[in-house]
Amino acid sequence: MVAPRRLRRGWGPSFSSYKLLRRLVITPFLISGISILWSIFASDGGIRGWGGTTNGDTSPPTPGDVAGGGGMEDVVDRALEGNVKDDVVVPPIPSSSIVHDGRTWKSEKSAVLSMASSSGLDDHARFVGSLRATGYDGRIILGISHDSSDDVIEYLDSKNVTYHRVYKSETGCAHNGTAGAEPMYMTYDDNGIGTPRRIIINADGTGWNCPREYPEYKLTWARFFYYRDWLMSEEDCGVGMVECADGIMVTDYRDAYFQADPFQTAVRMGLHRHPILVFEEHPNMVNTHWLTDLPVMSCKKHKVGPTPVLCSGGTMGSREGMLEYLNVMIEEFKHWMTQPDCRMQGYGDDQAVHNYLYYAGRFGDIAKAIPHRTGPIHVVGYEASNINEEAMKKAKGRGLSDVPKDFYVKYAWQRWLPEEYGLINPDTGMVVNLDGLPSAQVHQYDRFGNLIDGWLGKMKEQGWPNNNATFG
């Protein structure tokens, strides 16, 4: 049974808006000819300013370039120039004694945590509405804007959501991004539409936004501190934490929705036996990508290498496992804050930390990486971006300035994507895993652009009618 929401804290002004970073070519020196697109979340997307949800996500290869000549290897060199020192030594974390105790995950004793700062009613209706429609009756604990509208509060109350008002630090951030001797930029365009722009990815400056309780950390990092606070609070999790005792999920907000109960899905798959679950993005996404390589090289003088990218926007596990995960992430953030070479101006470096720690073995043997499209969380961004880019080219060829939401719909609105892509069930329109069953959570769905909007609209209108079905 879900206890009534609790009103605490608040969240500040909305995030500055960015569009998707497209058509970025990573030089052969770093990624062996693989080009990549980095998606930077919009105002209610990535937690980079006030508002939105967490980020650190990447998207598919598209043409583009790195400004200033020399490519990303030059960028990394500039980040390290004048700052090279001995490898940073971090005190080792003892091997975990956490083991699976044989209990299953019951939804009523599980919790979904997210930072939903400055998200509007539409975002809440999609995330919370789709999750509750699965039959999930456990805790939903959110960070929201301090000035959230009355209709948002009314909706969250009606869905038994526990929410926290989180305020922006009145004194600013204790630190700003400082790695690198001079500003570094990237250029991108929107698939040939519009004027290419240069964006700063790293420099001393004012790009960070920090919450009142944790002014030392930009919000993409501070959210992990909040998650731990909430999981340790009886106000949030009940006396003895009994209402957050089983499965725990920390997740991005604005670009995610649900099609099945993620905890029951994990149990059906036998994944609840693993204290920490991390999720791989598409196999073409590897950690030679600059979003991992640049921060880790600058801070740790280390390369993660061509390993599968693990999305930091969605992690699951047992209560004990997730507290261990959060503790390890937080200790690493604390260390990075002491090193100027580690305080990056960019906003996706929580994903760099997430990948570095996993592949360095810092989570121990209790963490399991789940291959793409085989677990409760389906990070669909790579495929979605490629599909949307192809649709944009087709639309441009037809003289259209944008892709209409019914672009591929011919006979039924459920068939919003051609079957050739193999991503949806044509009878329901639900995104599916490799086994053909609905993905419990679809993450980075916004990379589909307008293509998915019509289907999502129908789902919200009809109350997500397929979400409470029994699969498998």
The Cα–Cα gap between 34 and 288 comes to: 9
Q: Specify the residue for token string 């305020």.
A: 167
Mean pLDDT computed over 394-401: 94
What's the distance, Cα to Cα, between the start and end of the chain in Å?
A: 26
pLDDT for 129 beyond 70: yes
**With contact defined as beta carbons under 8 Å apart, do 266 and 317 qualify?**
no
Chain centre distance of CA 462 = 27
Range with lowest mean pLDDT among 96-105, 251-260, 456-465: 96-105
pLDDT of residue 184: 53
pLDDT for 382 beyond 50: yes
Neighbours of 123 (CB within 10 A): 21
The Cα–Cα gap between 464 and 127 comes to: 11
Mean pLDDT computed over 270-286: 96
- Provide the angle, in degrees to the nearest 10, between the axes of the packed helices 319-337 and 219-231: 140
**With contact defined as beta carbons under 8 Å apart, do 8 and 17 qualify?**
no
Binned at pLDDT 50, 70 and 90, residue 101 comes out as low
Q: What are phi and psi of 94, to 5 degrees?
A: -60, 150
pLDDT of residue 326: 98
pLDDT digits (tens, 9 = 90+) for 12-57: 333 333 333 333 333 333 333 333 333 333 333 445 445 433 333 4
The Cα–Cα gap between 367 and 358 comes to: 8
Of the candidates 232, 171, 201, the residue with the CA atom closest to the CA atom of residue 40? 201
Mean pLDDT computed over 7-15: 33
pLDDT digits (tens, 9 = 90+) for 52-90: 333 334 333 332 222 233 333 333 333 333 333 333 334
Dihedral in degrees, nearest 10, Cα atoms 55, 60, 66, 67: -70
**With contact defined as beta carbons under 8 Å apart, do 427 and 433 qualify?**
no
Q: List the beta bridge partners of residue 280.
A: 310
- Tell me the CATH number of domain 1-87+101-467, given options 2.60.40.10, 3.90.280.10, 3.90.228.20, 3.90.550.10: 3.90.550.10
pLDDT of residue 226: 97
Dihedral in degrees, nearest 10, Cα atoms 128, 134, 135, 137: -40
If you write DSSP's letter for every residue of 385-439 in order, what string do you get?
HHHHHHHHHHHHHTT-SS--TTTT-SS-TT--S-GGG--B-TTT--BB-TTSSBP
The Cα–Cα gap between 105 and 69 comes to: 52
Q: Specify the residue for token string 């672009």.
A: 407
**Higher per-residue confidence, 108 vs 63:** 108
The Cα–Cα gap between 429 and 437 comes to: 12
Query: Which ranges of 58-146 would DSSP assign to H, the alpha helix?
Result: 71-80, 121-133
pLDDT for 300 beyond 70: yes
pLDDT of residue 422: 96
pLDDT digits (tens, 9 = 90+) for 193-249: 445 545 445 444 445 788 999 998 988 899 999 999 999 999 999 999 999 999 999
Mean pLDDT computed over 348-360: 93
The Cα–Cα gap between 142 and 127 comes to: 11
Mean pLDDT for the chain overall: 78
pLDDT digits (tens, 9 = 90+) for 155-205: 999 999 999 998 988 887 887 665 443 555 544 344 444 455 454 454 444
β strands within 104-233, DSSP E: 111-115, 139-145, 162-166, 184-190, 193-202
